[in-house]
Structure 1
Amino acid sequence: MTTLLDAVREGRMDDIRPLLARLDRGGRKAALDELKALRKEARGWSWGERTRVRKAILVAGAGCHTGAAGCATWLGARDMRDWVHSPYPWVLEVLGDREPDWLADVARRLAARAVESDAEYRLVEELARRAGCPLPLSDGMVRTWAERVDGARWQRGAEKPLIDLLRADARLDVLVPHLLTLPELPSVVAWVDSHSPAGSWPAALTGLVAEGLLDRAALLDSCTARLLRGGKPTDLRFCLLVVRGLEPTSEEEAARVADWMAMAADGPSPVAGHAQEVLARLDAQGALSVRQLAEVSGAVLFRTEKKLVRAQLIHLGKVLRRDPSAAEELLPVLADVFGHPDTDAQERALKLAARALPAVSPEAREEAARAASLLAPLHREAARAVFGDLLEDEPEAAYEEVLPPPPAPRPLGAPPGSVAELTEEVTAVLLRSDREEDVPAFERALDGLVRYARTDREELVGALESALAGQWWASEGEDEIEWRMSRNHDGMSVVVAALLGRVSRRSVHDGQARRTGEGRCCHSALNGILYARLWEAAAEMWSGRLPYLLATPTWHTGAIDAGELVERLRGYRALGVAAGPVDFAQALLRVRRTDASEAAQQASALGTEEGDRLAEWLRADEPVAAVVPRHVDTDVEVGRDWLRQTVVKARRALLTTRENPLVRQKFPRPFHWLGSAHSPRNQSCYCWIAESPQWVATLPEDGEALAAWLLPSVAASVHEERGTTWLLPALAETGGPAAGAIHLALAYGLGARHAEDRLAAVDALLVLAARGRLDTGRLGGELAVLIEQGSVKPNRLADAARTAAETGAYGTVLSFLVPVLPALLAREKAPRGLSDLLAVAAECAERSGPPETGAVPGLAETAARGGTTQLVRQAIRLETACRAATG
């Protein structure tokens, strides 16, 4: 056994098999115990040495296991599977004397684990071959098989036909059905080159069906089931291509009517569109009952996709012409469309309802007439012509704007009441990712660490040692921990590691000195302030000097009540404790300065340096950085065409900030960037991830400055960047004025490329409006500038405006859309999306009344052009709404 372990430590793979042959069952069991200890020991070695020895450990351990289950677990362990050169040929050697049933059991168990590489696939395949059993199937095995097949297409520089490779596989009839049951199809399978679709997997599979090598019904059922279940767009496209390639017969389509109906109702647009086509064919063939048609039509007409709704209404028109007796069941479906947000759909449904009325019962007529009250005002006259006296005149209720209640500040609450409670909160904070970071939870935990490090240090250390044993820094060497923390910053881990003695005093001192706050961009500057706070708190873990932190927020936004900060300073004075410089500076940035004259007097009466500085800060009541009220148009790089080696640039409207001498003179160095003058022209940002919930909490009372500094990131949302408007709702809750910077950032967000980014901007818009801080004229002016500049596209703005209006904020939306329209209407060629903007404005005017500014310049001329284009129709609609209200 000793000789075997020496060979393993030295990585002598060829010596392992003969040495194992000398050991009996007891010897192998004893050797396995030693190998397990060596495996654990090797985890702390350098990468090269660990990899070489791990291979030998894997091979020897496989040979020492006498049970199939234990051997499979050993071979499939996560820490034993990262190989540059596979050790599996030696594994097969040491298992060469095992019985076929034993090998088959190992193969099945390994296949059931995650098979992620070609080497693992070949190991299972060879074990199954030696055992004489069928290849065991699992998701990992089938996924790897598909990747192997695709890789074989490109051997020796020439592409082989995929259908030939699949045709030659004897296990095709079991592998393909399992492939289609995977939660997600492998990318090599789902991807289809539009230039050569004949060489894709869908084309190959349908070709094999034609040759009789695959079961047609099973393939059709599998793909239909995936379409019904939903999934990634690429997976659904794959299934659609297969279904279309199979060209199902009328009988096959009719047998799956329920599936097509469900897809048309709830499937993604491409899937719903295909199902709609199939159902239309079945209906034309008489394979769809009127009741089924009514059921699926009700679901499709409820959808928002105009193309699907229009197609379904056209089909219903054909049905009514073909079979007038169907009107009784179809009229209620058409009446439901009267409440559809698309006014064109309303108009089409009204015309079809007029065609259906003569063939229906009086009860059905009355029901449809009641639904006509949902029609947009521009269709009311047409509805009266259709329904006559059945249409009741209802007095119009006075319009009332619906806005969400203003968000109320949520207090942080009392500090943790015990070491156990604090330990739970600290653990929760450390387990969160940066994107999930909760500012109130972070601040409570940080303040709690400072409090209990002073009063219950030993109990706190014991509790955290046990709770955080799984953290990476709990088992690494001190040098490795200090090196990583000095460069990467693991958030609160710096403070906890210092408390538990994992970081030296020298490293904490160096960390405090290194974080100067002189970043190139606001992201690094704001992060630098947080890092400086953490290193300062880490230093206090040894001293136990501070009773609590001054900068702990009062509310969830990060703001501190001025009176509460005065009380905290009074507590410091009673204990004779000096404030931490960084902690006190952060507290000043967070304190509410409005209506704080009484707090300023109380601070002056403390007779301490900190009290005097607080009083001076409150009385000045000036922003940390004043925003210059003018645009800076600057060219910025928004993309690069690597094929042509050209840079794509765009012009953006950004803002600058003035210098604040008070911050640079009296605040610690990490805060000096905030007090400097900044222009987008002289800033360079190389941050990979430009987001942190801590940024807004750093300056909760200076939303304008934050918005000005973060404008380049927010502006990127109108191009390819995703997720850069996340902070807009938080900015809407900040204190201080909401002027040019916040409104310009909001304008960029409303025109963002991605729908989820526009949704964040809509949330911010409603919060500002609810708090009475939204200047709709200013917002409209900013949007007009960005549209003229080409940064914001009218169709994206229309989508965001429609979303906001549908919450009930019709008057608010109309008031910021009106300043946008004149310049667009004056263009010789109408920009894409202008008709959508007019439609939203018309909807708002019909509900809330005309704009306060009166007629919209250029609207009458556009409405007078004539024709039936959407632009003219919506211009007439908006002009009619304005004229009707004023008349």
Structure 2
Amino acid sequence: MSAVLEAVRAGRVGETALLVKKLTDAERRALLPELQAVRKELRAAPWESRSERGYPALQVAGAMCHSGAAAAATWIAGADMRRRQAPAEMLLKVLADRDTGWQADVARRLAARPVSADVPFLLMAGLVRRSGCEVPVTDAYVVGWVRHIGHSWGRVPLVDRLRAEPDLAPLVTGLFELSDLGEVRWLFGEGPGSWQSALAELTGAGVLERKAVVDACVARLLRGGGPTDHRVFLPLLGLLALTRDELRERVADWTALARDAVSPVAGHAQSVLGTLALDGGLTPRQLAEASEGLLFRTEKKLVRAQLVLLGKVLAREPAAAAELLPAVARAFGHEDTEVQERALKLVERQAKRLDEEPAVRAGIAVAAEALSPALRVRAAAVLGIAAVAAPEAYEEVLPPPPEPVRLMAAPDSAVELAEEVSALLAAGGDGDVAAFERALDGLARHAHRDQDALREALEPVAATRWWKQSESHGRRDTEEYFGHTRRGLLTAEGGLELVLGTLYGAVSTATLLAALRSGPADHDCARHGFSRILDVRLRELAHRIRTDPQPLLLATPSWSTGLLEPDELVGRLDTYRRLGARVGEADFAQALLRVRREDRAAALAAAGRASALGTPEGDRLARLLSAGAAALPGCDRRTSGPRVLVESGEVRELQTDFPEAFRRLGRPFTTSDAVRYCCHWGQENHRHWLATLPELRELVAVRLVHDLSEAALDDERGAGAVLPLLAESGGVAGESTHLCVAYGLGARHPEDRLAAVDALLVLAARGQLDAERLGADLGQLVRRGAVKPLRLAESARTAAATGANTTIWEMLRHTLPILLAGLSTEGTAGAPGTVRGLGELLSVAADCAERSGARGELPHLTGAAARRGSARLVVQARRLRDALAVAEAA
């Protein structure tokens, strides 16, 4: 057996197979533990090592030695075996002497593995062919088959390769049942020579049963799948060219697809239903059922097309009004008032029919409650419902702003603290600031109290860290990592690693001191200032744990926003005084930036107690609290291409009595700082920025403007997540804050726009929203091409849907004049694409004006409303003009 192990380690596959073949069954079973040991050796070996060559031989040996089908399949498909697999032909050869039942069992078990197991198709197919079992129609087998068939492009036409497949019918059935085509989507192609055209040709030739293929194709479209799967099955359905009878017998399927499928599939189903309806192939009841689902969809194109179809059918069959008009009324609740108006016109045309159907009239009257106020006035004459309530009755509804959460005290148990540290590290340090600061304070307190007990509790956490594995990483690597040789600024996760490494002696005191004294090289970019403060705080904590543990951290916030109550800070300074402990410079500086100063009564009361401490830190805190809130620097706007950015001046308060790392935040901030790329790009955590200056959000916002502009202009994702936190923060909500929200409302990705809407509503609920400023900003950004009006319209509509109609109207009434002023007779506004979305913005503005009873004229609106034609821009301009006129008259 030693010869077998030697052959395996050397990677000699053929020799391994010959040696194992000579062994008896008992000897093979006895060899298995030795093979498991070799497998463990190979797993532990470094990636790309020479020992990798042993895997193919190991796979062959294990397959031959396992007598059970389940064990053999598990061995062959092991995750580590994927790194270097034995040839399928070799595995088939060494397993050829097993009985057919055993081979069939292994084939089924291999095929049942996930696609990611990457089991060779030739191995599975070979076992199926030799055993004579039914082909296993699993995802792994079907994906392998598709890859195998598509591997020889250009030599034999695909249709001929498929025709030669003995198990074509079940495999094609499996193709339709794949959970996701993502693994093989690129192989299907399009047009002549594609899988779709080949399957259609084989169906037409009778090789595949037509009804089975059509049913499977329709069923797959009903089931859905990956986001692009319909690009395979929908063209195939078109190539099959269904007859009228085939279409007619699947009306229920087309109805379901029209209601629930992705937009292209729903459009196809709608066209089928439309053809049947106009040919008399649908009853009014069936058309009504299909319409009810379609008219609830968000795609305006589909909804409008269905209303057109309903209008044609009603014109031909007036007697169908009782069945179809309730379905038409479903569109009364659509967000687009043009859709509402189209539906109302259909009802108006059939008004006489409603006299004969009082129950239908009553149902439509109830549905008409969802119409916009202006359309309800029209509906009242037809249906006898009450007109819209007077504008004075409108009451703005804003969601209550989130309340800050009081920070819990650090865990008194070292074991509980270790669990929290483990959770933070597992999250990559991206948890909320409160959890991070609470953990830091707990590490400081327990390190001061009993470092041995703290190390014992943290041992399970530390055991998983890379710096604890000395076999892979030497002391020099660890020292360089925690110093500034390899790394720039510490992130939250890196800081926790540093503190743990310090506790376990992974980094020397000299390295800690050198990194603390020198700090990272300065860099003039938006991110460096806040990241540098976090870096200095973490390095100070690590050094003090090693040399002079602190009893607690002064800068731990009182609230989730980062605010620190002044009386709490005075109490902590008193604890330091009583214990004779030395205050950390960076810790105290961060505490001063966090202490609440806007509540002047509490601040002045705490100032007196701080002065009574008789310590330099107490006197420094007393002066700060007595001085009042810090004055914000002046701001100037600068443009960079389509971008509008902000520069700010010096904050003098931060230039005195603060460590060097903190003074960086008080220096002037320029647009060159905003756009500068640097080595720590992407390491920032905006939550920590806001918690650094919880009452000076404008200093944070001015550094966020460029990042938010990328969300609108460069399609970056995720920058908008900071906006609700910015809105919840303290201090003046000024020019930079509003510009950040403006960019967020025009962000590329829906989740960023939704975050901007949340921020807008929070500012409004807190009475801090300057709608005029925000509206003017949006107008300028749209004119410059930085914000697309369609995205802005979607954001505005979402905000208005919460009940904030007055708020959104006040914003848009300062946005629209800027855009309407540039509207020329040729139909072009200030920036390319402005007109395309301007109609949507006018629609939202009209909705808000109608619902809130807005009064007054809108500059340049009359000219837009006086234009000829029925374009959406003109129609909505007229609607807004009329709404404002009605409100004014009222």
Of 608, 616, 632, the residue aligned with 1:609 is: 616
Asked whether 1:652 is paired with 2:643, we answer: yes
Asked whether 1:721 is paired with 2:728, we answer: no
Asked whether 1:274 is paired with 2:268, we answer: yes
Q: Deviations over 1:203-254 (max 9, x none)?
A: 2222221122333323322332232233333112322212222122233333
Aligned to 2:677: 685
- Summarize the Cα distance change of 1:797–1:223 in structure 2 as closer, same or farther, 3 Å threshold: same
Match runs of 1:78-477 below 5 Å:
78-83=79-84, 86=86, 91=91, 94-95=94-95, 97-116=97-116, 120-133=120-133, 135-153=135-153, 158=154, 161-186=157-182, 188-189=184-185, 197-359=191-353, 360-387=356-383, 398-433=393-428, 437-466=431-460, 469-470=463-464, 475=469, 477=471
Deviation at 1:198, TM superposition (A): 2.5
Of 570, 586, 597, the residue aligned with 2:604 is: 597
Instruction: Give the AA of the match of 1:231.
Output: G
Asked whether 1:847 is paired with 2:851, we answer: yes
- Summarize the Cα distance change of 1:118–1:73 in structure 2 as closer, same or farther, 3 Å threshold: closer
Aligned to 1:629: 635
Instruction: Give the AA of the match of 1:61.
Output: G
- Summarize the Cα distance change of 1:377–1:10 in structure 2 as closer, same or farther, 3 Å threshold: closer
Match runs of 1:517-666 below 5 Å:
518-542=522-546, 545-594=549-598, 595=600, 596-621=603-628, 626=632, 628-635=634-641, 651-660=642-651, 663=654, 666=657
Q: Deviations over 1:663-708 (max 9, x none)?
A: 4664445445423333222542256646633333333322212111
Question: What SS is found at the alignment partner of 1:832?
Answer: helix
Of 869, 877, 880, the residue aligned with 1:878 is: 880
Question: What SS is found at the alignment partner of 1:81?
Answer: helix
Q: Return the alpha-carbon distance in structure 1 between the equivalents of residues 546 and 206 of structure 2.
A: 77
Residues 437 and 556, structure 2, Cα contact 8 Å, conserved in 1? yes
CA RMSD of aligned residues (A): 3.1
- Summarize the Cα distance change of 1:168–1:549 in structure 2 as closer, same or farther, 3 Å threshold: farther
Residues 563 and 595, structure 2, Cα contact 8 Å, conserved in 1? yes
Aligned to 1:646: none
TM-score using structure 2 length: 0.89
Match runs of 1:50-65 below 5 Å:
50-65=51-66
Deviation at 1:752, TM superposition (A): 1.7
Deviation at 1:653, TM superposition (A): 0.8
Residues 753 and 795, structure 2, Cα contact 8 Å, conserved in 1? yes
Q: Return the alpha-carbon distance in structure 1 between the equivalents of residues 623 and 295 of structure 2.
A: 64
Q: Return the alpha-carbon distance in structure 2 between the equivalents of residues 393 and 91 of structure 1.
A: 78
Q: Return the alpha-carbon distance in structure 2 between the equivalents of residues 217 and 534 of structure 1.
A: 69
Aligned to 2:70: 69
Q: Return the alpha-carbon distance in structure 1 between the equivalents of residues 529 and 57 of structure 2.
A: 49
- Summarize the Cα distance change of 1:30–1:748 in structure 2 as closer, same or farther, 3 Å threshold: same
Residues 633 and 649, structure 2, Cα contact 8 Å, conserved in 1? yes
Q: Return the alpha-carbon distance in structure 2 between the equivalents of residues 39 and 539 of structure 1.
A: 43
- Summarize the Cα distance change of 1:814–1:623 in structure 2 as closer, same or farther, 3 Å threshold: same
- Summarize the Cα distance change of 1:582–1:130 in structure 2 as closer, same or farther, 3 Å threshold: farther
Question: What SS is found at the alignment partner of 2:437?
Answer: helix
The answer to which of 422-431 and 113-122 deviates more is 113-122
Q: Deviations over 1:768-788 (max 9, x none)?
A: 101111101111121122122
Question: What SS is found at the alignment partner of 1:400?
Answer: coil
Residues 326 and 364, structure 2, Cα contact 8 Å, conserved in 1? yes
Residues 849 and 884, structure 2, Cα contact 8 Å, conserved in 1? yes
Deviation at 1:312, TM superposition (A): 1.7
Residues 850 and 885, structure 1, Cα contact 8 Å, conserved in 2? yes
Q: Return the alpha-carbon distance in structure 2 between the equivalents of residues 501 and 62 of structure 1.
A: 46
Deviation at 1:837, TM superposition (A): 1.4
Residues 370 and 391, structure 1, Cα contact 8 Å, conserved in 2? no
- Summarize the Cα distance change of 1:460–1:302 in structure 2 as closer, same or farther, 3 Å threshold: same
Asked whether 1:676 is paired with 2:667, we answer: yes
Deviation at 1:44, TM superposition (A): 3.7
Residues 473 and 481, structure 1, Cα contact 8 Å, conserved in 2? yes
- Summarize the Cα distance change of 1:666–1:10 in structure 2 as closer, same or farther, 3 Å threshold: farther
- Summarize the Cα distance change of 1:708–1:391 in structure 2 as closer, same or farther, 3 Å threshold: closer
Q: Return the alpha-carbon distance in structure 1 between the equivalents of residues 45 and 482 of structure 2.
A: 20
Aligned to 2:832: none
Of 682, 696, 704, the residue aligned with 2:698 is: 704
Deviation at 1:111, TM superposition (A): 2.4
Q: Return the alpha-carbon distance in structure 2 between the equivalents of residues 876 and 239 of structure 1.
A: 44
- Summarize the Cα distance change of 1:394–1:10 in structure 2 as closer, same or farther, 3 Å threshold: closer
Q: Return the alpha-carbon distance in structure 1 between the equivalents of residues 410 and 391 of structure 2.
A: 54
Residues 121 and 148, structure 2, Cα contact 8 Å, conserved in 1? no
Q: Return the alpha-carbon distance in structure 2 between the equivalents of residues 581 and 148 of structure 1.
A: 67
Q: Return the alpha-carbon distance in structure 2 between the equivalents of residues 473 and 258 of structure 1.
A: 62
Deviation at 1:327, TM superposition (A): 1.8
Q: Return the alpha-carbon distance in structure 2 between the equivalents of residues 36 and 802 of structure 1.
A: 63
- Summarize the Cα distance change of 1:90–1:319 in structure 2 as closer, same or farther, 3 Å threshold: closer
Q: Deviations over 1:478-503 (max 9, x none)?
A: 52666666657644333334434555
Q: Return the alpha-carbon distance in structure 1 between the equivalents of residues 518 and 193 of structure 2.
A: 58
Q: Return the alpha-carbon distance in structure 2 between the equivalents of residues 340 and 183 of structure 1.
A: 33
Q: Deviations over 1:430-488 (max 9, x none)?
A: 22246x62332222223223323333544443343246655555546352666666657
Instruction: Give the AA of the match of 2:62.
Output: G
Aligned to 1:16: 16
Q: Return the alpha-carbon distance in structure 2 between the equivalents of residues 174 and 481 of structure 1.
A: 57
Instruction: Give the AA of the match of 2:611.
Output: S
Residues 116 and 144, structure 1, Cα contact 8 Å, conserved in 2? no
Q: Return the alpha-carbon distance in structure 1 between the equivalents of residues 558 and 155 of structure 2.
A: 66
- Summarize the Cα distance change of 1:366–1:159 in structure 2 as closer, same or farther, 3 Å threshold: same
Q: Return the alpha-carbon distance in structure 1 between the equivalents of residues 108 and 241 of structure 2.
A: 38
TM-score using structure 1 length: 0.89
The answer to which of 425-434 and 503-512 deviates more is 503-512
Residues 391 and 852, structure 2, Cα contact 8 Å, conserved in 1? no
Q: Return the alpha-carbon distance in structure 2 between the equivalents of residues 251 and 603 of structure 1.
A: 89
Residues 176 and 217, structure 2, Cα contact 8 Å, conserved in 1? yes
Q: Deviations over 1:614-666 (max 9, x none)?
A: 33444455659x5542211124xxxxxxxxxxxxxxx3111123344654664
Matched residue count:
860
- Summarize the Cα distance change of 1:119–1:382 in structure 2 as closer, same or farther, 3 Å threshold: closer
Aligned to 2:45: 45
Q: Return the alpha-carbon distance in structure 1 between the equivalents of residues 769 and 710 of structure 2.
A: 23
Deviation at 1:317, TM superposition (A): 1.7
- Summarize the Cα distance change of 1:882–1:186 in structure 2 as closer, same or farther, 3 Å threshold: closer
Q: Deviations over 1:178-222 (max 9, x none)?
A: 1222221135436776xx522333222222211223333233223
Deviation at 1:738, TM superposition (A): 0.6
- Summarize the Cα distance change of 1:751–1:396 in structure 2 as closer, same or farther, 3 Å threshold: closer
Q: Which runs of 5+ in 1 are unaligned?
A: 636-650
Residues 701 and 740, structure 2, Cα contact 8 Å, conserved in 1? yes
Deviation at 1:159, TM superposition (A): 7.5
Residues 585 and 659, structure 2, Cα contact 8 Å, conserved in 1? yes
The answer to which of 401-410 and 374-383 deviates more is 374-383
Instruction: Give the AA of the match of 1:414.
Output: A
- Summarize the Cα distance change of 1:115–1:856 in structure 2 as closer, same or farther, 3 Å threshold: closer
Deviation at 1:744, TM superposition (A): 0.8
- Summarize the Cα distance change of 1:810–1:749 in structure 2 as closer, same or farther, 3 Å threshold: same
Instruction: Give the AA of the match of 1:314.
Output: V
Residues 86 and 119, structure 1, Cα contact 8 Å, conserved in 2? no
Residues 517 and 673, structure 1, Cα contact 8 Å, conserved in 2? no
